[in-house]
Structure formats: structure tokens, C-alpha cells
Structure 1
């Protein structure tokens, strides 16, 4: 008998897709003068108000745009337009900053004839500086969103700061006999160490999902994707992930009770995981993507905690940068994780190279290990051998360039 396909097998990647692959969305970006020459204001526009879910930074200093976006979403749980600027975070700017964020919402409402409570606002850049509202106003009025790939790339470019590349993802699956698509884009390179979200992430889907159920799916997926990346251990003031679902695919409304709910959750997970990996790989000054897999933990949550501890360790990160197969750094990170660990049972592998078995060192080729660590993707595997929990985390190495970039961030 032929076995049924798993959710992961049902979902397919669309290599050239992105935020405009789902039906019913437009986007655009423009240079408004907030930065010297790069695009710096972008917009995503749905043809109709879309169900919306969001997760935010847990920083005590949540930026003004987050407060405005929360205000919009709480009205009906729907968003039709997302306006974003780079160069200035509009964080720690007091009442004036909050007024400016609301002004961005109002200007976007006027420019695209969208009700104010259907508009989300996001900003990224330097903390503690006021927005140049004259340039913001001119920029918003000059935006001409479209449905072409170039329009998506303009938006993706407009939201970048120290990123070196654009990040995008797109996946599709059949639900109720309809093709449902999930596309995404994100920015993030430094200050990546999430507790709820990570950076700025914008995800579009033509699935029909009511807001409350979309929120359930996003929170579930965020815990195992965006919350499992780290670059430098710092959380920003502006971190936010936003999902818009406009229902243009024509499927039946999805909920956890729907027989194909798990397919939609897998769609969302694949898109978010792809973006999370791209952010980790593009960490400030990074030369390598690091993927940590932990199995045999007491629970999935503890496995994720151990994986995050390893990938976030500066000693592990610098050893990987220097191609030094010092597995003691990995054990040091495992030892301080918030999880149950039996110090006599741990296995460690670097790629396919076994280094530790039942906490006893194994003989391995230093030359082979060094050659492996000179690749651009490094996989670390740990088996705690105390349970059935598993989890993954992603990060990058720590190079001299990270210090250089952040020592002169404002210049």
C-alpha cells in the first residue's frame, strides 16, 4: 500500500517566489533621502483587508512603530497595508516619536485610500533619532506599488540596514484542492537574539485563515524558527514578524480543527525557517552558517534551549571562525544550558566526524576537522541521551568584521 505523503513532502519550494507570489498583493520601495543613496521606504499592499498576526520584541523599550501596529491590529485583527522605513528606528523618541509613527500611518492611509486601522508601521535603523518627517511624507506619496518581481525586490532592499543580501522565501501546497502560497521577506543582520520575534519579517499568504487561528500558527512556528536564531546575543527595540492572509486562494477557512491545518502550519514553518537561516547566514561579519541539532533531550523545549546555547556561545562562534575543532567549547555551552544533562552520556559530532561518545573523547583527524570547518555551512550534532526531545538552532561565526561594523554603526 502506498504511504500517504507527510506535510513536509506536500509542501514545495518556489525558488523564484517571494512576498508577491501569493495572490492579491503589491509592493514597492523608494529612495526618500533617509539614507545616502539606497532605497529606504517600502510598502506592502493587499487588494483587500487581510487577517493579520504578529509577534514582537520582548524588549522593555518597544519602539513607537510597534505600539502603532499593535493599535491597528487590535481593532479588527486585519491589515491591508504595511509601511516600513529604514535608517531610523524611531525608538526611545518619546511622544514625538509616537506622534511621528501615527503620522506615518495617516500618510499611508491618504496615499493608498486605506483605513488607518488597516495599516501597520515598522521602522529599523539607529535608535534615539527622530524621523525626518518631511522626507517620510514625500517618500510615501511617491510610492507606486506593483505586482512584479522588481517591485518585491524594491521593498526588500528598502528595509535593509547592515544586511549584505536580500532575504526572501516562498512555498506552496494544495489545500482543499486550491493552491495556497506563503511568501516572505525579512531584514536582520545584527542585534539578533529573539525572545518573541527577531528582526523585521513580513509574510504574505493567500490562504483563508481567520486572525485568531493565524495568530496560533504564527506563535507555534516562531518558537521553532525565528526564536531559534542568534547572531550576537542582543535583542532589538523594533523586532517584529507580521503575517497577512487575504484569502485570495479560495480555500475553506482554516482552523486547528480543519483536516489540512497541519499542511498550512508546515507551509508557514518552511517559509519562516528559510528566512531565519538566511538571517543567521548574513549575520554581521559572518563567514559561515552554523546549524546545531540536538536530540535525546528530556523535552523538545530543552533540546531547543541546548541548541540555542551552543549556537550563541562566543567561544563556539570564534572557534568556528578560526576553523579550530575544539569540541570543549561545545561541551562548555551544553553544560550551562537550562536543561537536564547527564555529564556521562553526551555525544558530539562535527558534521559526520564523531568527537565525543558517552562523554568520552574519540580519536579523529584534526586535518579532516579543520577542512570541514573551512566550509561555509557547519553542522553540529549533540545527543544528550536522556530522552526523546529534539530541536535545532541557527547562527553564525564571530569574526573581526563584526567588531568593525558595530564600532562604526552610526557612521
Structure 2
């Protein structure tokens, strides 16, 4: 336990190691995950009052193993009937191969991430299971983060574990090229977790630091396990450069401060430095991918001490490359803003025209927020007010609603 760590921080770091040890030894992911959570809960209850044991990891593994043995004994009769009916049982399918005693903790965590992001699961289930099994969050904490009931989240996690078992997933590193494909899914899931924490899609708070912090921590682990992967480095750089702005992104009352108005002296300079170093190395050493390009754009913003000094021309070119590598309407929206900053708002609005026929995008608040911004720059006050108000109606994030309504009122004056 390092200086500044809390018991909660320590338990989150140890959670994947405990789960990995149980799965390797006993083989049943579902039962091992339940037992790990029970051990974490016991530690969270006992350690603050009684002090840390000499070996926190050993304590957790012993307690979790006892819990698992109790569960296995209770379920043995049912499992034996299952084994008679099926030539290959779920327990066999999830049995871990003989563990290499020298396997690093980072490898164990990466294997767990790959398992939790199994392609048989939906993205929502991958996110929930990752936070529970690898992040060490309780079901109640995950439910609160995504504004749903604990019962609903428990059912989602339970179904995800059952699907993994039914799919015959094993606790081992997948062979290539499957490993590379699965790693892309892991990165996507970690990106989803970070984004939900950085701009909560609903609720009273703009940030959920438990999610952004967990996404960064897990991405650091993946980066240690795959140091030569440019996209892993790109995602970690993107997270650090984006999260660096968090201290300046809200006012004391919780209201949103847009990028152009932020006090950049409040940005986390350590995150900025680390993020810029990461993306600089990745771009020079690895094939360019979408996470690297997004991180490069964030780095350009971070290098400007004032919004007026932003190198928008460079950002336009980076967005042009990003649209070629990973075409996406949301990328086009950001590209349009950059084009407007270089060539004027009319050029940016022209880029948005082809998107107006996209029914899905038409119902997204960001489309109308970007359009409002460009209409305001073009001097179309009435059009900007209408688009700001429409964007406010479409978002369920209270800080964003307040910001958009405030912007509309300011333009309408």
C-alpha cells in the first residue's frame, strides 16, 4: 500500500490478482468472481478497523478460496448431474491451464480483461463485467454509475458470466490473431468506461471520477502488457490528455466550462506531459490508428497555453486523417468545428449538411450543439438559439442542459 492509497484503492488493485489466482486453481470463473467479491467486501469491512494484514493479497486469496470451497460443495450435486448429461461441462470449459509461476500480474489482468470482453457479450455487458471482475467495483457501485437498479445490474452481470461459460471461454491468453481482435474490443470497452465517466450521459454530475480513474488504471495495465502496441499507447495518451482538463472543466457550482473558456493553468500538467510523451513515441514507432490520431488532436490542444493559440490547421489535417482511418459522424462533427475555425463558419456548416439526413444523428444533442455553435459564429442568432434549445432538450445530462440553455439565453439577448 503506497502513500496516499486508501483501502479501496488497494482492493481495486488486488481484485484482478485474487480472481486470477482462483480461476487458475479452481477453474470456474462465475463462482470465482462471486467468491472474490465476497472477500473484497469482507476486507472493506474489517481492514479499516483492524488494520491491514501482513499480506493483503494472501489474506484475500485465502478468504476467497474458503468462500469458493463452500460454494463448490453446495453446488457439487447439481454439477455432477450436469457432467453426466454433457460430455463437456462448463467447469471443464473454464478450467485454467497449468499456470506459469512466473506469469506477471499484468498478464493475469490482461487475460481477465480479454475474458470479460468476450465477443459473445454485448458492449453493455462487457463494460459491467469488466468493472465488476477487473475493476473491483461492487454491483451497487456500477448500478449507481449507470443510473440503474442494483437488481438490473446484477442480472446483467449474471447473464454475462453465464454467456462466457456457455461460450467455452478459457482462462488463458488467446492465440494470434484472435488476441489482437479481442484486444481491440478491450480498448473499446475501456474507452466507453472513460467516456461515461468524463461526460456522464445523464444525471446531475458532469464527471464520474470513479469510472475515469478505473479506465485509466486498467489501460495502464494493458499498456504494460503490450508496450509495443501503438493503439494501446494512443488510448492511454488520449485518456490522460482529456482527463488533464477535468479540474478546469466545471465551475464551483458544477456548471460546464467549454474548452475555449477553460483556465489552462488548472490543467493537470503531469497528465499532459505523460500524454504528449506517449503519443509522440507511438506515432513515431507504430502504425497510425484512430486512438493515436485522437490523442494527437488532444495533444495539439494541450500545447496551446491559450485557446487563441490553438493550431487549428494542424487539427483539421488530423481530423481529415481520422475520417479516412475511422469514418464516423461524430468525427465529422468535430472536423466541422475545426474547419470553421480555419476557413470560417460557412465552411463548417456546409460539412454538416450531409449529416442532417441521418435520423440517428438528428436525435443526438451534439449534432445540434455543434450546429448552434457554428450558427452563432456565422451571426445567425435566431438559428443558434433554436439549435441550442433543441440540443438542451435532447441531452439528459443536467450540467449540459444548463450550459446549453444558458448559451441560448446569452445569444438571444
- Category of TM-score, reference length = shorter chain: 0.3 to 0.5
Larger radius of gyration: 2
Higher share in helix: 2
TM-score normalised by L of structure 2:
0.34
Q: Which has the higher contact order (CA 8 A, sep 6+)?
A: 1
